[in-house]
Amino acid sequence: MLARPFIEKGSSFPMTSSFLHCMDKVFGRQHSSSSFVPRHMPAKEEDVDKLSQLLSVSKNIVVLTGAGISTESGIPDYRSEGVGLYARSNNRPVQYQNFLKSEGVRKRYWARNYVGWPRFSSFQPNATHLGISKLMNEDGIVQCVVTQNVDSLHLKANTKNVIELHGTAFRVICLGCSFTIERHAFQHLLAKLNPDMKIVEQMMRPDGDVEMTQAQVECFNVPSCPSCGGILKPDIVFFGDNVPRKRVEAVQNEVKLCDALLVLGTSLTVFSAYRIILQAAELHKAIAIVNIGETRGDKLASIKVNAKCGDVIPQLCR
Ligand SMILES: [Zn+2]
């Protein structure tokens, strides 16, 4: 699954080579925002024209987005050749079950998440997010955005109807009761509980990693739920967990109502996203994909634009 937080690390420290995912996607200043965009060719004019024609006859488009649209904001994806997290590191995201079972895993996760949060939460929407927002709010042809990203960039771009398929990094929930806390507020709480843990520039590696000693992680204090004492977790669908049923149904309803599905910046590797395009194909909806490189849904699409979303979406908004 794309764009969910944190990479699990073995027991060795310091964590010099492991990637934090999501807020773990915290990058040093040496990187430009395009450092995580895979190599690509310019969009072909004829492809953009075809896409433009599709949009001109569509009234209710569902847009499905993935990590590929946030790379231009400086957040890496997982799978892109050479520049994605998987290409840069052997580490993989923490599994949901491990997070549940192990206090040590949770402590390590939250310590790294705490350090990475200021940078992760500061990323800004790019031309693609803003273009989609315009297509919804001004042109009225996009009815819903379904995103696999947990970076809140669609919401920061003021997009009205967004379904965050895999949740959001900007909220923390209790696994035992209905308690939730906004992530910025949780950062203040973590800061109070960990006055000795100073976030300093030296902890941020240019490759996106956060460097901490084992002692720093072991000393990190993670609060329990103030309401029931339960485990607190980002409101994100971790690897090994399922998208909540109601959210799946909400997406299915949007796809039923739409006349076209526009897929942007995702390889559709993860099934929770792939099944959306399967449903659209089954219902004979028009399907268009803009992505650098192949996707799992290419055969189902009537239009495939092999290009960077930021080169294409602004052209559709003229
Ligand atoms: Zn609770």
- Please state, in angstroms and rounded to a whole number, the distance separating the CA atoms of residues 87 and 206: 15
**Two structure tokens written together for 25:** 């996607």
- The model's pLDDT over 116-135, given as tens digits with 9 standing for 90+, comes to 899 889 999 999 999 999 99
Range scoring the smallest mean pLDDT among 1-10, 93-102, 192-201, 241-250:
1-10
pLDDT on residue 194: 96
The arithmetic mean of pLDDT across residues 249-253, rounded, is 98
Question: Within a 10 A sphere around the Cβ of 124, how many other Cβ atoms?
Answer: 12
The owner of tokens 């006859």 is: 57
pLDDT on residue 198: 80
pLDDT of 305 > 70? The answer is yes
Query: Is residue 154 among the annotated active site residues?
Result: no
With 0-12 CB in 10 A as exposed, 13-18 as middle and 19+ as buried, what is 103?
Answer: exposed
Q: How many Cα atoms within 13 Å fall on the side-chain side of residue 95? A: 6
pLDDT on residue 3: 38
Pair type for strands 167-174 and 180-182: antiparallel
Beta-ladder partners of 147? 65, 164
pLDDT band of residue 32 (cuts 50, 70, 90) is very low
Peptide bond connecting 223 to the previous residue in cis, omega within 30 degrees of 0:
no
pLDDT on residue 202: 62
pLDDT on residue 270: 92
- The model's pLDDT over 57-113, given as tens digits with 9 standing for 90+, comes to 999 999 999 999 998 898 876 656 555 555 555 556 788 999 999 999 999 999 989
Average pLDDT, the chain: 84
Q: What's the predicted TM-score (pTM) here?
A: 0.85
The response to whether 219 counts as a known ligand-binding position is no
Above pLDDT 90, what percent of the chain?
Answer: 65
Distance 112 CA to ligand 1 centre (A): 23
Q: Find the largest Cα–Cα distance for the chain.
A: 60
Residue of 21, 129, 154, 166 marked catalytic = 166
- Please state, in angstroms and rounded to a whole number, the distance separating the CA atoms of residues 291 and 173: 33
The response to whether 257 counts as a known ligand-binding position is no
pLDDT of 23 > 50? The answer is no
Q: Give, as residue ranges, everything with CB less than 5 Å from ion ligand 1.
A: 174, 176-177, 179, 225, 227-228, 230
**Higher pLDDT among residues 119 and 20, named by residue:** 119
pLDDT on residue 79: 59
- The model's pLDDT over 160-213, given as tens digits with 9 standing for 90+, comes to 999 999 999 999 999 999 899 999 999 999 999 999 888 776 666 555 567 788
pLDDT on residue 43: 80
pLDDT of 274 > 50? The answer is yes
The response to whether 73 counts as a known ligand-binding position is yes
pLDDT band of residue 28 (cuts 50, 70, 90) is very low
- Which is nearest to 91 in space by CA: 65, 112, 68, 114? 112
pLDDT on residue 15: 31
Distance 304 CA to ligand 1 centre (A): 45
Task: Please tell me whether residue 144 adopts helix, strand or coil conformation.
Answer: strand
pLDDT on residue 35: 72
- Which is nearest to 212 in space by CA: 220, 221, 203, 199? 203
* Residues 6 or more apart whose Cβ sits within 8 Å of residue 137: 158, 159, 160
